[in-house]
Homo-oligomer: A and B are copies of this chain.
């Protein structure tokens, strides 16, 4: 069993945005959405010695690195590429012509309610359009995918609803522009500098990537036909036979799955894991860009120690222990305690960074009372604490990859005014959740497979959730 470099890539969430889509590319290349699909597929193919007869995998016969990455071309070309791909009906094949008249009414109702900000009394207490859009994306995903208890193709009706309504909810991004300087030839032959409108950087970078991930997830579900596993509906079984008897239970043939089916499932799991990480990395990067609302930053404790509490503060200050040791010392009992620890760490990091910023801008009142030497030592200590707190938080996130939203993130979303941030955050979040659900369901199947055939190679991946897939052999 080898620890894949995926785990490393999982730690790169705080790299700069343009590097976000890299998984196993040399760091001097900037990868765009264009290379994303083939890159993820190539990453998968390289784990296998033989070609895998997966529907999705077949679409990427070459694994030359140059086919994975578009070069770091000029922004003008980026833009035209983006426009082109957005119109590419093959990849994102929602077509206006398919819209029925009744859909127009649904669309009008949807938009009208968004404008009311979910306040049906008239919008006086409505939320901002940014939050309304974010909630609408969350709710749409909930309606279409639900808890996703079964691995099977999404019914056409649901798939159409998802694509149609996401198209509406994403539509504000089509009208977002930023003005960038460009050169133009004047009538007298002189070159003049003008401002030209261009798609907003973060929208242009993330949205096509997310749409690609979206398509890939739906394709993965679509490929779940003629499977050897099936589902037993909850109602037909006696109570007590299963812990969650009311849910569909996976069934595999006596003696386990065939080798072909196992390989296909493993390939799908690896693909979906990459999608999960990509979506999560977009989500984390956009959340970092979103400002902490002033009302919240005003009430956060100004001292890092106060935010952390005794235990966490002691652990962070305990000499040279590694992130892993610190995490073990915390002895987290549940997701809740993990979330609480991360919330405290983030509040402390915020307070410390604020202190450093205050010092850098010369506003710190402490400056006058400290001796210079003490002062430098204090700042060094704060920087060390920030770095240790960040690695501890990262370690906790790796151990609990599907934690609920963190306090500061929830506040950022609920108070955000930027529509693009809201849309990208929500879209990447629901895609990440969908990928996580698919991984969990594949985990269910492999668990069932191992029960039927204890020698199954699925044994190492039989616990649900992406955590187990990081160690894929």
Q: Which residues of A contact B (CB under 8 A)?
A: 96-97, 99, 101, 104-105, 107-109, 111-117, 120-126, 129-130, 132-133, 168, 171-172, 174-178, 200, 203, 417-421
Nearest B residue (CB) for A113: B175
A114 to B111, CA, bound (A): 9
Give which listed residue, B108, B122, B177, contacts A176 with CB less than 8 A: B122
Q: Would you give the shortest CB distance from A105 to chain B, in whole angstroms?
A: 7
A394 to B97, CA, bound (A): 55
Q: Would you give the shortest CB distance from A178 to chain B, in whole angstroms?
A: 6
Q: Would you give the shortest CB distance from A427 to chain B, in whole angstroms?
A: 15
Decide if B105 touches A115 in the complex (CB within 8 Å): no
Provide the residues of chain B in CB contact with A178, threshold 8 Å: 121
A109 to B173, CA, bound (A): 10
Q: Would you give the shortest CB distance from A241 to chain B, in whole angstroms?
A: 38
- Given known A-B contacts A124-B418, A177-B121, A104 and B105 have beta carbons under 8 A apart: no
Top 9 closest A-B pairs, CB basis? Answer: A123-B419, A111-B111, A112-B171, A124-B418, A112-B172, A122-B420, A115-B129, A124-B417, A122-B176
A420 to B101, CA, bound (A): 26
Provide the residues of chain B in CB contact with A177, threshold 8 Å: 120-121
A178 to B107, CA, bound (A): 23
Nearest B residue (CB) for A111: B111
Q: Would you give the shortest CB distance from A417 to chain B, in whole angstroms?
A: 5
Q: Is the interface of A mostly helix, strand, loop or mixed?
A: helix
Provide the residues of chain B in CB contact with A172, threshold 8 Å: 112-113, 115-116, 123
Q: Would you give the shortest CB distance from A280 to chain B, in whole angstroms?
A: 23
Give which listed residue, B105, B109, B203, contacts A96 with CB less than 8 A: B105
Decide if A96 touches B107 in the complex (CB within 8 Å): no
Decide if A175 touches B109 in the complex (CB within 8 Å): yes
A109 to B114, CA, bound (A): 14
Decide if B123 touches A129 in the complex (CB within 8 Å): yes
Provide the residues of chain B in CB contact with A122, threshold 8 Å: 176, 200, 203, 418-421
Interface centre among A107, A115, A178, A417 (most CB of B within 10 A): A115
- Given known A-B contacts A107-B104, A107-B107, A419-B126, A200 and B114 have beta carbons under 8 A apart: no
7 additional A-B residue pairs with CB within 8 Å, beyond A116-B175, A121-B200: A104-B104, A107-B107, A115-B419, A121-B176, A122-B200, A122-B418, A123-B172
Decide if B123 touches A130 in the complex (CB within 8 Å): yes
- Given known A-B contacts A99-B104, A108-B168, A171-B108, A176 and B129 have beta carbons under 8 A apart: no
Nearest B residue (CB) for A116: B172
Give which listed residue, B109, B111, B121, contacts A115 with CB less than 8 A: B111
Provide the residues of chain B in CB contact with A132, threshold 8 Å: 115
Provide the residues of chain B in CB contact with A120, threshold 8 Å: 175-177
- Given known A-B contacts A117-B129, A200-B121, A417-B123, A175 and B101 have beta carbons under 8 A apart: no
A463 to B298, CA, bound (A): 62
Decide if B171 touches A123 in the complex (CB within 8 Å): no
Provide the residues of chain B in CB contact with A117, threshold 8 Å: 129
A113 to B176, CA, bound (A): 9
Nearest B residue (CB) for A174: B112
Give which listed residue, B108, B115, B421, contacts A107 with CB less than 8 A: B108
Nearest B residue (CB) for A105: B96
Provide the residues of chain B in CB contact with A107, threshold 8 Å: 104, 107-108, 111
Decide if A419 touches B116 in the complex (CB within 8 Å): yes
Decide if A101 touches B101 in the complex (CB within 8 Å): no
Provide the residues of chain B in CB contact with A421, threshold 8 Å: 122
- 18 of the cross-chain contacts (CB-CB < 8 Å) are A99-B101, A107-B108, A108-B111, A108-B171, A109-B171, A109-B174, A111-B171, A112-B174, A115-B115, A115-B133, A116-B129, A116-B172, A121-B200, A122-B200, A122-B420, A123-B420, A124-B419, A129-B129
